[in-house]
Structures are given as C-alpha cells and as structure tokens.
C-alpha cells in the first residue's frame, strides 16, 4: 500500500496488476478493504490495473476532522476523477460499493471524460436518509436489531471484530469473513471508530449534497457501459434500489446475486469479476 497526492489531498491506495487499463475501486464505508482481495486479484489477472483507495478521513488517506468533515460528496467525486488523471490520464473504469457507489454516480456525471465504464455495487440513487417513495428503505426489523446493540470499546481489537461479526450475521453476511476483515481494518487504523467516521460521511453526503438537480434525475445522462451488482438478500439497501439504477441508466445491466446480502461473498467473486471485465 502507498499514497498518492491529488489536488492537495493524500489518498491511501493499493494497486494490483501493471496493465495500462485502470480500474478504480471507490471504498464503501470506511476503507478500501471493502473491496475483497480475491476480486482485485481476479480483475488484475484479467488485464486491468486495479487501484482501490481509502476515502478521505479513513485508512491512510487525509484525515483532518472525521467528526466534522469540511467537504461534500462532489469533492469525493472529484477525488476519483483526480486519481484517474494521476494514474496516467486514460479514462478509467470506476466502481463504487455502498456509499462509494453514490460517490461513483456523481463522479460519472460530473466528470464524464474521466471514466470509461461504471460498476455500482450494493448502492442506491439517492442520498442517505429516507429514500424516494418508489424505492425500498432499510428493513426496519433488521435495523432495530443492528442498532440496538451496545457499542464496543474501539481500542479493543477483539471487541471491535466481534461487534462487526455480530452485525454481519444480523445483515445476512458471513460473520467469519466480517470478523477477519474488521481485524484487518483495525490493524490499519488502531483505536479509531470506523462506524463514527462512516456515519459522519453519510451525514455529510445527505446534508451538503450541492447536487441540484438531484443526481437520480441525471442518471439518463450516463453514457458509459454500466453494471449494477446487488444482493437479493440485502436488507440495508434492498434490491429494488439496484433495479432502479439499472432501469434508469441507459443500457445498464443488473447482476443480481441470489445468495448475497450487503457484502460481496467469496462465491460470487468470479461471476462479478467476469461481468466487470466484460464492460471493458
């Protein structure tokens, strides 16, 4: 892992492969590790230079005040475009997962020349908060169980890993994989509070959109090949959100993962990689 400076911002990045065809992976939640290693390796083996990176205020990227971020969703979108330029200026395939998928949509709309293809995983076309009436909201029973739990001591690695594993089980994800991932994230940023950072970034996206007209209304402007990947069992952003994205982005393809919830399971890596590589 290393860093790259773009427009006065330092982004923590990790590269896979050395091909000239860049594929940028926007983080979901708090760090680049939301993109599975196996998927990065499969994409690199398919002839792509894969670069996953940490959003601001997370991982190895610029951290100033995670509890009061002084930037907007459009700034995060501009970071993705600047990174594409820093990688050589060739239009890049851009992929976003979770909240990173929201950033990716705005990046593709605001910086169309920077990107050659778009992949959106487990996300939706509206900001955090109540969705549009035609989009399914979070499953209420699942959210009650998820947020009713007492928070762990964030300086305790095992407590944090256990907390994340239990949350994954509630969401329908693999708790063992979630525990291992949480430990890796903790090792990169020991003693931090990833959910706090995530909540503040989501709040920032919602309260300071500065995206009039709303980006959902602009989705028909996206002209690059687009893949929408969504778990059928996702209770956080139910699959209707992915279906709407695929319907409203011209020519987009929906890849619905029948056994997946919020995370990309190992069993789906090959299918997802193949679909992403097919975009170009």
Question: 221: pLDDT confidence band, cut at 50, 70 and 90?
Answer: very high
Bridge pairing between strands 226-231 and 92-97: unpaired
Task: Compute the average pLDDT of residues 214-239.
Answer: 95
Q: Identify the structural domains of the chain with CATH numbers, from first to last.
A: 2-131+193-279 (3.40.50.1820)
CA distances from 38 to 88, 175, 267, 275 (A): 25, 18, 10, 15
Q: Which residues contact 121 (CB under 8 A, 6 or more apart)?
A: 28, 95, 96, 97, 98, 101, 229, 230, 264, 272
Question: 226: pLDDT confidence band, cut at 50, 70 and 90?
Answer: very high
Query: Residues 130-169: pLDDT tens digits?
Result: 778 899 999 999 999 999 999 898 889 999 999 999 999 9
Task: Compute the average pLDDT of residues 76-90.
Answer: 93
Bridge pairing between strands 22-26 and 49-53: parallel
Say what the pLDDT of residue 135 is.
93
**Whether pLDDT at 178 is above 60:** yes
Say what the pLDDT of residue 213 is.
58
Question: 62: pLDDT confidence band, cut at 50, 70 and 90?
Answer: confident
Question: 239: pLDDT confidence band, cut at 50, 70 and 90?
Answer: very high
Sign for the pseudo-dihedral over CA of 185, 191, 195, 200:
negative
Give the sheet arrangement for strand 92-97, strand by strand: 2-6, 9-16, 49-53, 22-26, 92-97, 115-121, 226-231, 253-257
Query: Residues 254-277: pLDDT tens digits?
Result: 999 999 999 999 999 999 999 999
Tokens of 69: 């971020």
Q: For the chain, what percentages of helix, strand and coil (3-state, to nearest 5) are there?
A: 45, 20, 40
Say what the pLDDT of residue 145 is.
97
Task: Compute the average pLDDT of residues 89-93.
Answer: 93
Q: What are phi and psi of 212, to 5 degrees?
A: -90, 130
Say what the pLDDT of residue 66 is.
62
Say what the pLDDT of residue 6 is.
87
**Whether pLDDT at 195 is above 60:** no
Q: Where are the alpha helices (DSSP H) in 228-268?
A: 240-248
Task: Compute the average pLDDT of residues 187-214.
Answer: 60
Say what the pLDDT of residue 211 is.
56
Task: Compute the average pLDDT of residues 68-80.
Answer: 85
Least confident window among 38-47, 59-68, 91-100, 232-241: 59-68
**Whether pLDDT at 128 is above 80:** no
Question: 170: pLDDT confidence band, cut at 50, 70 and 90?
Answer: very high
């Amino acid at each position: 892992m290393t860093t790259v400076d773009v427009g006065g911002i330092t982004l923590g990045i990790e590269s896979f492969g050395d091909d000239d065809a860049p594929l940028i992976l926007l983080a979901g939640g708090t760090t680049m590790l939301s993109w599975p290693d196996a998927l990065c390796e499969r994409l690199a083996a398919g002839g792509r230079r894969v670069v996953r990176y940490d959003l601001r205020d997370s991982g190895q990227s610029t951290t100033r005040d995670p509890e009061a971020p002084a930037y907007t969703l459009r700034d995060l979108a501009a970071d993705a475009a600047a990174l594409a330029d820093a990688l050589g200026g060739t239009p890049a395939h851009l992929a976003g997962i979770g909240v990173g998928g929201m950033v990716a949509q705005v990046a593709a709309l605001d910086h169309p020349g920077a990107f050659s293809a778009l992949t959106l995983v487990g996300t939706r076309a509206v900001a955090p908060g109540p969705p549009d009436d035609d989009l399914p909201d979070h499953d209420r029973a699942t959210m009650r169980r998820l947020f009713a739990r007492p928070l762990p001591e964030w300086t305790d690695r095992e407590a944090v890993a256990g907390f994340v594993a239990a949350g994954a089980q509630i969401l329908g994800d693999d708790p063992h994989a979630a525990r291992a991932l949480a430990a890796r994230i903790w090792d990169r940023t020991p003693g931090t509070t990833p959910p706090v950072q995530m909540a503040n970034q989501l709040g920032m996206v919602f309260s300071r959109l500065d995206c009039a007209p709303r980006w959902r209304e602009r989705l028909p402007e996206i002209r690059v090949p687009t893949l929408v990947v969504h778990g059928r069992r996702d209770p956080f952003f139910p699959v209707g959100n992915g279906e709407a994205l695929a319907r409203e982005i011209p020519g987009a393809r929906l890849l619905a993962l029948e056994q997946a919830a919020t995370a990309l399971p190992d069993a789906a890596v090959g299918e997802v990689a193949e679909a992403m590589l097919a975009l170009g």
